[in-house]
Amino acid sequence: MKKLAAGVILAAASSIEAAADFDLSGSLGAENRLFFEGPALPGQLQTYQGSLELELDARWSLADGKWDIVAVPYARLDGRDTGRTHFDVREAYVRFNGDTVSVRAGLGRVFWGVAESVHLVDIINQSDSVEDIDNEDKLGQPMIELSVQRDWGLITGYVLPAFRKRTFPGVDGRLGFPLPVENDLALFDQGADDSADVDFALRYSHYFGDWDVGLSVFHGASREPRFVLNSGATAFAPFYDDITQYGIDVQYTNEAWLWKLEGIIRDTPFETFAAAVGGVEYSFYGITESGADLGIIAEFQYDGRSENPLIAPFTVADNDVMTGLRYSANDSADSSVLVGVVTDVEDASMSGIVEATTRFGDNWIGEIEGRFFMNVDPDNTLFGFKGDSHVMLRLTRYF
């Protein structure tokens, strides 16, 4: 009976998609960033940075939903930072959706993990770091993806035939490094260019009652580069080492508690280290008459990698505590506010975030994002950003 039912719902799923063969949507956003202080480096923009972003999302569904074709081009035009003006194809793939097997080929986007403050396990896509330093914006990754869904879980294998280099601000951009990062000088263990190199990944994920578990392994060029001085010591060359990374992510959900843990072991040509992030999210529900929720988040971040920049890419999240509050109004505008502070346990350097969003009418979204760097110790990785505290106001029209 159960099997028959599963077959029927798949058949049912097919028919609804047949009703919408082609769908085009997208968004156009205007962004204003205001820095509280002038630049630390000569040539960087002063305190105001305006930019526009456009994303299109085209989807075809063919043969009763058995096949999907998706294209999501994205462009940002930045008024001040030449390195931030860029174009990317976030997604462009063909996917076959079978009853238990699905296959996807093209540029795709994948997310792994459970934590809020840092994403250790998530490794398939390269970060589009010029978008935001939180590394939640990603570049489309060329991939062939094969997924098999069984009663005992989902297994997905990836062949990643080309490498994407991380994006960095231009010499005129804020939130940059002491020297500009030149992607044209990028170095790889496999020679000058990793485009010919092929990376592989495998993931298992499933739920067991209140537990959600993911196990993953990745072998290929690290998405995080370390920085090597060029010959004239005028720029940094990003060096993407070959790594093997094992990951685990676990969430235990019990009433209003979410317990989260992500851990990795990364094997590089220089060292083998572990890193982890874990914590809790607890929600108070219905704190107002209108049913708003308040969540409390606390996560601890540990990273055992070498602090020598010639051995390992830098990380901020090495021994830090993140505490935050998430307020969801549960109103018709889906208004929400997230406030968080990450504090280094050793030197008390702090970075703070504020993210607020609400909808106006049916199609407009207003967002405020603030990033603050406080009490930054000269030895902390954040020291280069200490004068780059800013607020950003974004208005986006969806269509």
Partner 1 sequence: MLKINQLKKAAKSALVGSALVVGAGFSAAYADEASVAKGHEIAARSDRSDNGFISSEVSAVMTLTNKAGKTSTRELSFKTLERENENVGDKGLTVFSTPRDVKGTALLSHAQILTPDNQWLYLPALKRVKRISSANKSGPFVGSEFAFEDFTSTELNKYSYDYVGEDTFGGLRVDVVERFPLYEKSGYTKQVALIDQDVFQTRKIDFYDRKGAHLKTLTFGDFREYDGGIWRAHTLEMVNHQTNKSTTLT
Distance CA 194, CA 163 (A): 6
- For the CA atoms of 174, 179, 185, 188, the dihedral, rounded to the nearest 10 degrees, stands at -90
Residues 6+ apart with CB under 8 A from 362: none
CA–CA–CA angle 28, 31, 37 (5° rounding): 170
320 touches 345 (CB < 8 A): yes
- Choices 76-84, 107-115, 177-185, 343-351; region in contact with partner 1 by CB under 8 A: 107-115
396 lies in the site for partner 1, by CB under 8 A: yes
19 lies in the site for partner 1, by CB under 8 A: yes
13 lies in the site for partner 1, by CB under 8 A: yes
136 lies in the site for partner 1, by CB under 8 A: yes
Distance CA 97, CA 124 (A): 21
User: How many other CB atoms are there within 10 angstroms of residue 359's CB atom?
Assistant: 16
155 lies in the site for partner 1, by CB under 8 A: no
Among 15, 195, 230, 308, the residue binding partner 1 under the rule CB under 8 A is: 15
Q: Retrieve residue 354's tokens.
A: 């504020």
Longest dimension (CA), the chain: 71
Of residues 298 through 357, those in contact with partner 1 by CB under 8 A are: 330-334
Distance CA 127, CA 119 (A): 11
Q: Which is nearer to partner 1, 40 or 395 (CB)?
A: 395
Among 25, 82, 100, 272, the residue binding partner 1 under the rule CB under 8 A is: 25
The distance of closest approach from Cβ of residue 18 to partner 1 in the complex, given in angstroms and rounded to an integer, is 10
The distance of closest approach from Cβ of residue 269 to partner 1 in the complex, given in angstroms and rounded to an integer, is 30
Of residues 156 through 215, those in contact with partner 1 by CB under 8 A are: 207, 210, 212
Helix (H) or strand (E) holding 14: helix 2-18
Q: What does the DSSP assignment read for 89-112?
A: EEEEEEEEE-SSEEEEEEEE----
The distance of closest approach from Cβ of residue 9 to partner 1 in the complex, given in angstroms and rounded to an integer, is 4
64 lies in the site for partner 1, by CB under 8 A: no
105 lies in the site for partner 1, by CB under 8 A: no
Of residues 235 through 294, those in contact with partner 1 by CB under 8 A are: 251, 253, 255-258, 283, 285-286, 289-291, 293
Q: Which is nearer to partner 1, 200 or 364 (CB)?
A: 364
> Burial, 201: exposed, middle or buried (Cβ in 10 Å; 0-12, 13-18, 19+)?
buried
75 lies in the site for partner 1, by CB under 8 A: no
Q: Which residues of this protein are in contact with partner 1, per CB under 8 A? A: 1, 4-6, 8-9, 11-13, 15-16, 19, 25, 27, 109-111, 114, 136, 207, 210, 212, 251, 253, 255-258, 283, 285-286, 289-291, 293, 330-334, 359, 361-363, 365, 396, 398-399
